[in-house]
Amino acid sequence: MRCSRLLTIAAAAAGLALSSAAARAGDPYWDGRDIRRDLRHDYARAGRLRSDIARDQWRRDEDLRRGRVRAAERETRDIARDRRALREQMRDIHRDRRDLDRGYR
């Protein structure tokens, strides 16, 4: 009984290890091309977020000059949301660059 339980656990562990290795070997993300494509998309999104932030800042400043306080507050919230998204996007870019540098291609 004790031996069969150990054999079952060992077989399950070996099967899990082999299946995860096979899945990683067949995973096209680890090819490197997908990481680079992902980086291109990430950089494009970061650029769009930066342009959104600049446009919202211009609108906020215009609203403040014209005395539209509520619209300026709305733009300020939008700027804060876009800045959070940009920070997260830059973290993702950093992780992808790190993966490329460490050889996960």
CB 60 within 8 A of CB 72: yes
In the predicted model, is pLDDT for residue 98 greater than 80?
Answer: yes
Query: What is the per-residue pLDDT for 11?
Result: 73
Position 12 confidence tier, pLDDT thresholds 50, 70, 90: confident
Query: pTM score, two decimals?
Result: 0.65
- Angle between helix axes 33-66 and 69-101 (nearest 10 degrees) is 160
Taking only the tens place, the pLDDT of each residue in 32-43 is 678 888 899 999
Could you give the CA distance from residue 15 to residue 6 in angstroms, rounded to a whole number?
14
Question: What 3-state class would DSSP assign to 67?
Answer: coil
Q: Scanning the structure block, which residue is given the tokens 């070997």?
A: 25
Phi-psi region of 77 (alpha: psi -120 to 50; beta: other; left: phi over 0): alpha
